[in-house]
Amino acid sequence: MRIYLDMCSLQRPLDTKTQVRVAVEAEAILSIITLWESGQLELVSSSVLVFEAEQIPLSQRRTYILETLLKANLFVSSSALVEERAQRFVDLGIKPLDALHLASSIEAKADYFCTCDDRFLRRAKEADTESTKVVSPLELITEITE
């Protein structure tokens, strides 16, 4: 099973867990990472994720994300096809960087694309993502552990 975690999902375990939702999503993402580290899942990285990670000002957070991405099973580079697909998502009201993440996950033939961003999640679920299913961290952990 191939999983693409967008940047907000990758960073969720590092967020302050004063809200119940954040704490629960952090645990879900940590469980997904544990399943990946044990070889039960494949994690997808992309040039878009690396670009976004390099913009993180907090060095410990940036280092953690970049190290995780370096160990991913599959890397998707930017291409004309990814950019063309992303533009179709932008036309649906999805932010350009989010659209590139979603397009990269489809290019990787990911089974799941995971995001914590509610607005993006709603719009992405309405888009044609081919065989890639768009989910929240809680939906993802529920689906892959059933």
- What is the pLDDT at residue 58? 78
- What is the pLDDT at residue 59? 86
Amino acid of residue 93: G
- What is the pLDDT at residue 75? 98
- What is the pLDDT at residue 120? 97
C-alpha to C-alpha distance for 138 and 67, rounded to whole angstroms: 24
pLDDT digit string, tens, across residues 1-39: 999 999 999 999 999 999 999 999 999 999 999 999 999
Residues in the chain with pLDDT values less than 50: none
CB 108 within 8 A of CB 77: no
The CATH code belonging to domain 2-144 is 3.40.50.1010
- What is the pLDDT at residue 145? 87
